[in-house]
Amino acid sequence: MDQSTWDLVRDSLLPLASGLVRGTIPLTAISFAAGLVLALLVALMRLSSIGVLSAVARFYVSVIRGTPLLLQLFIIYYALPEFGVVIDPFPSAIVALSLNVGGYASEVIRAAILSVPKGQTEAALTIGMSYPTTMRRIVLPQATRVAVPPLSNTLISLVKDTSLVANIQGVELLRKAQEIAAPTYEFFALYSVAAVYYWIVCLVLSFGQTRVETRLNRFVAR
C-alpha cells in the first residue's frame, strides 16, 4: 500500500529535525561566531591608519560583497581540489559562510564603531588609556548596542543561506528534504515542512534579538 502524503510528512518530521539540529544549526552557530571574529578584525583594519591594512580590508570586503555566496562555496569545494586542496563539505561550508559573514558584518561593526563620538576616544587616550583598552572598555560596548539589530539580521540571513550547502553535498535541512522527497516525488510537502522549520528558527532568533535590544536599552538608560 502506497504511503499517503500525510504519513510521509509525519514520518519525515524527525529526520528533517535531525538535519536542522545536526546540520543547519551547527553551520549557523560556528560560521557566525567565526565570521564575527573575522569581521571585527577586518573592521579594525579598515579603520587603521596603516594604508596597506586598510587597502587589504577594503579589497576583501569588495570581493565578498561583489560575488555570490553560492560561487564562493563552489570555489572552495569544487575548484580548490585542482590545486590539491581538498576540503569536506561541512568544513568547506564553514569556511565559505564565515568568510561571507565576515565581509558583511565588518561593515556593520565599522559603522557602529564610527557612531561612537570621537571625543570619547580622545578623552580616554588623554587620561592614559591605551588604544586596545579604549576600544575594549569605551568604544566596543557602545558600538555593540548599535550593531545588534543589523548583526541579528545577518544571523537570520545566515540561517537561510545554509540551505546553499545542499549544492556541495553538505547534509543539512534542505538536503534532508531533497533526499526524502526524491524517491516519492512529494517535493511540495517536504519542502513546505523544511520551510516551516526555517521559519521557526528565524522566529526564535527574532524574539531573541528583541530581548537583547531591550536589555541593552535598559543598560544604557541606567
Report the pLDDT value the prediction gives residue 219, as an integer from 0 to 100. 54
41: pLDDT strictly greater than 90: yes
- Condensed to tens digits (0 to 9), the pLDDT of residues 59-100 reads 999 999 999 999 999 999 999 999 999 999 999 999 999 999
* Mean pLDDT, range 175-199, rounded to an integer: 94
Write the DSSP string, 169-194. T--SHHHHHHHHHHHHT-HHHHHHHH
pLDDT at residue number 14: 95
Instruction: Answer for the pair 158, 28: CB distance below 8 angstroms, yes or no.
Output: yes
Weakest-pLDDT range from 114-128, 145-159, 168-182: 114-128
CB 152 within 8 A of CB 205: yes
Q: What is the rounded (10 degree) CA torsion for 147, 149, 111, 103?
A: 90
> How many domains does one find in the chain?
1
pLDDT at position 18 over 60 = yes
**Bigger pLDDT: 115 vs 74:** 74
Average of per-residue pLDDT across 159-186: 93
Q: How confident is the model at residue 34 (pLDDT cuts 50, 70, 90)?
A: very high
**For range 10-28, the mean pLDDT:** 94
170: which residues sit within 8 A by CB, 6+ positions away?
Answer: 23, 27, 89, 90, 92, 93
Residue with cell 556593520: 108
CATH of the domain at 128: 1.10.3720.10
What count of other Cβ atoms lies within 10 Å of the Cβ of residue 121?
Answer: 17
Supply the pTM of this predicted model: 0.89
pLDDT, tens digit, 9 for 90 and up, residues 119-142: 887 788 788 788 788 888 888 888
Query: What average pLDDT does the structure give for the chain?
Result: 91
Predicted pLDDT of residue 221 = 44
- Separation between Cα atoms, residue 109 and residue 150, nearest integer Å: 9
Q: 88 lies in which domain range?
A: 5-221
Express each pLDDT in 188-202 by its tens digit: 999 999 999 999 999
* 157/139 Cα distance (integer angstroms): 27
Residues 33, 37: Cα–Cα separation, whole Å: 7
Give, to the nearest 10 degrees, the angle between helix 25-47 and helix 140-161: 140
Count CB neighbours of 64 within 10 A.
Answer: 19
Which pLDDT value is given to residue 222?
44
Is the pLDDT at 2 greater than 80, yes or no? no
